[in-house]
Copies of this chain bind each other. A is one copy, B any other.
């Protein structure tokens, strides 16, 4: 199996980085191929802009997704995007590894999503959800956060974490066709003991070792909707 880990944390020694390393070690020990995109270390540019295209279909007015579609076809998309896209297409499993900032991904990672999940390859027209361009691949979101576990869930102060992560789990990963696994969550990370951190690393290792047993989350399938995307009765 080919595994791409996309990691984004501003502190190189963070616990989130320890999760990344745990994943690299675990997958490698299983004989998988692993690539890591460490976005802060790469000084990744997260800003989608006109600069992402060597040449433009319409130099006077930028429609980003349209230029992506044409740019990827004519190989005139920026080199840093093309490199990440190549890794993405190579991967059977993509792990997004990040600290929760404002109940979502840091801008650094959001900008990887904005720029790398190009229209025409990852989605386009009726190619989304189960028909998405990356169908057949799996995705895992691994996050750290400051909150405690009891602050999340039905009736809890912040509601279910999966609801907060909906734009990523459903609106991004499921949208482009990934089978999306249940997120791995390390709670209350800035405040816990070293022993508690080691427990999280051990349970992450366990989880990753048996990842092939995981049932993906359930999302809409296009067959449930008509040609105009109204729900079928």
Contacts A102-B171, A157-B225; A11 near B48 (Cβ below 8 A): no
**Contact between A107 and B47, CB atoms less than 8 A apart:** yes
Q: How many copies of this chain does one complex carry?
A: 2
Q: Enumerate chain B residues within 8 angstroms of A165, measured Cβ to Cβ.
A: 167
Q: Enumerate chain B residues within 8 angstroms of A166, measured Cβ to Cβ.
A: 103, 159, 163-164, 166
A74-125, CB < 8 A from B: 101-108, 110-111, 113-114, 117
Q: Enumerate chain B residues within 8 angstroms of A220, measured Cβ to Cβ.
A: 157-158
**Contact between A150 and B113, CB atoms less than 8 A apart:** no
**Contact between A46 and B102, CB atoms less than 8 A apart:** no
Which of A64, A107, A167, A171 is the most central at the interface, judged by chain B CB atoms within 10 Å of its CB?
A107
Contact of A110 among B61, B62, B104, B190 (CB under 8 A): B104
Whether a CB of chain B sits under 8 angstroms from the CB of A200 is no
Contacts A102-B167, A107-B46, A167-B167; A62 near B10 (Cβ below 8 A): yes
Whether a CB of chain B sits under 8 angstroms from the CB of A156 is yes
